[in-house]
Amino acid sequence: MSARRAQRPNPDPVDEDGVFKALASPTRRRILDLLKDHARTTGDLCDRFPHLDRCTVMQHLRVLEAAGLVIAQRKGRERWNHLDPLPIKHIHDRWIGEYASAAVGMLATFKTELERGTPDQEAGGKAP
């Protein structure tokens, strides 16, 4: 039995807009949560969303695949879905990490200034 692994057409530049679009849906985020620990078949994922029909779950999986967040692998008659965390890491490094570093730097500067005290505080005046 041969296994075919789907590949993204161009795995290197991450389609940030596609990743954000994919993450905008609570259903797709729930699918990613389910795939976090291990791969799951499409049938298993469909069973976990009894309020959605199979076509709707498949549509969500296609959006996740297009964003590079899910890689599908066919094994016999089953389609296994695997989480690819690299696009999320890219988003974290590019957007969250970069802004978090700046915020931490500002907070460290603020803390230093508070500990040092301002001229008004040293003169006994009230701080603004």
Q: Tens of pLDDT along 74-83?
A: 999 999 999 9
Question: Which of the pair, 66 or 14, is modelled with greater confidence?
Answer: 66
Give the model's pLDDT for residue 60: 98
Q: What is the mean pLDDT of residues 108-118?
A: 84
Are residue 107 and residue 52 in the same domain, yes or no? no
Type of residue found at 114: L
Q: What is the mean pLDDT of residues 118-123?
A: 58
The verdict on residue 108 lying in a domain is yes
The verdict on residue 9 lying in a domain is no
The 3-state DSSP class for residue 28 equals helix
- The CATH number linked to 77 is 1.10.10.10
pLDDT digits (tens, 9 = 90+) for 26-83: 999 999 999 999 999 999 999 999 999 999 999 999 999 999 999 999 999 999 999 9
Task: Quote the crossing angle between the two packed helices 26-35 and 16-23, to the nearest 10°.
Answer: 100
In the chain, the number of structural domains is 2
What range defines the domain where residue 106 resides? 88-118
Are residue 74 and residue 94 in the same domain, yes or no? no
Compute, in degrees rounded to 10, the torsion defined by CA atoms 115, 118, 122, 125: -120
Are residue 96 and residue 48 in the same domain, yes or no? no
Using the predicted structure, report yes or no on whether residue 103 has a pLDDT greater than 50. Answer: yes
Question: Which element (helix H / strand E) includes 115?
Answer: helix 98-116
The verdict on residue 23 lying in a domain is yes
Could you tell me which residues come within 8 angstroms of residue 39 by beta carbon, excluding any fewer than 6 positions away? 73, 80, 81, 82, 83
Residue 78 · residue 45 · CB < 8 Å:
no
The verdict on residue 7 lying in a domain is no
